[in-house]
Amino acid sequence: MVNLQLSTYELAKLSDVIIRARRIVVFTGAGVSAESGIPTFRDAQTGLWAKFKAEHLATANAFRQDPALVWGWYEWRRMLVMQAQPNAAHRSIAMLASYVPRLTVITQNVDDLHERAGSKDVIHLHGSLFKPRCFACARQHASGVDIPNQPDAGQRVEPPRCIHCNGRIRPSVVWFGEQLPAVEWNAAMAAVTRNACDVFISIGTSSVVYPAAELPFEARSNGAIVIQINLAPTESDMYAHYNLYGPAGEILPQLLNTAWGSQDF
């Protein structure tokens, strides 16, 4: 069933654009994991920032002031991710790699659901829940593979200590006010600039957090056709050639099956 809110003419044009593309970039945000049961940040009622204050949990200063609160919150989130499964959108993205000469997956998500669906070399712009490191000396800490001991969302958990300098271990995510990891950011920019990308598909992001939100704009400025899939309009609608509204786990498989005339996605 095709319900992409496009006219037959637009759908035919979009299908043509997709199957002709040689280099596709898929750019994802929290919405791509929502159907796996992972909360987004900014959705009213269900988003994390509707219940928790970002400045108390997602800044270096918050960690300095109350490391156990911050560590406990991230352990709770790590537990949610470890108990979740990739959904149809993650699986379609992984499958797409077999259909185009070059697919680059760039995510703002700190979960590992793209990898568990089979995507390779995913560029994580905002880090990962699974590579904790020392807050003081930045060395990686060997943990994060066990399912945490069922903490509640607001439960304080003392972070472990670094075996090298006794500093506190922090989650290796990018907090507000911190630079994005240079290697990942440069790889993301390289994938969208200098005509490196024919089609850029943005999925499930509100496009309000910078510099990640620059990517659809950069892609379009560099010649890409920009497609956005989201439940609702976002700050990036104006940069997208096609805005498809609905759940990513339904819209993306429909779109790709329509483009290739298949049932593979």
Residues that bind ligand BJW (CB under 6 A): 29-31, 34-35, 40-43, 47, 58, 108, 110, 126, 173-174, 176-179, 204-206, 208-211, 229-232, 234, 247-248
Helix (H, G, I), strand (E, B) or coil at 200: strand
Helix (H, G, I), strand (E, B) or coil at 17: helix
Q: Which residues of 135-173 are buried (b: 16+ CB within 10 A; e: fewer)?
A: beeeeebeebeeebeebeeeeebebeebeeeebbbbbbb
Question: CB 230 → ligand BJW: shortest distance, Å?
Answer: 5
| Residue type at position 8 | T
For ligand BJW, the nearest residue by Cβ is: 31
Contact 73, 92 (CB under 8 A): no
The entry of Zn ion, ligand BJW, none near residue 162 (CB within 5 to 8 angstroms by kind) is Zn ion
The entry of ligand BJW, Zn ion, none near residue 142 (CB within 5 to 8 angstroms by kind) is none
Which residue is it, tokens 């709770």?
76
Question: CB 127 → ligand BJW: shortest distance, Å?
Answer: 7
The angle subtended at Cα 201 by Cα 128 and Cα 102, nearest 5°, is 80
Question: CB 48 → ligand BJW: shortest distance, Å?
Answer: 8
The entry of Zn ion, ligand BJW, none near residue 137 (CB within 5 to 8 angstroms by kind) is Zn ion
Q: Given the DSSP bridges, would you call strands 23-28 and 199-203 parallel, antiparallel or unpaired? A: parallel
The entry of Zn ion, ligand BJW, none near residue 41 (CB within 5 to 8 angstroms by kind) is ligand BJW
Question: CB 25 → ligand BJW: shortest distance, Å?
Answer: 16
Active-site position among 90, 124, 126, 141: 126
114 in catalytic set: no
Q: Which is nearer to ligand BJW, 187 or 209 (CB)?
A: 209
Which residue is it, tokens 């790709």?
256
Which residues contact Zn ion (rule: CB under 5 A)?
134, 136-137, 162, 164-165, 167
Residue 81 CA to residue 107 CA, distance in Å, equals 15
The catalytic residue positions are 126
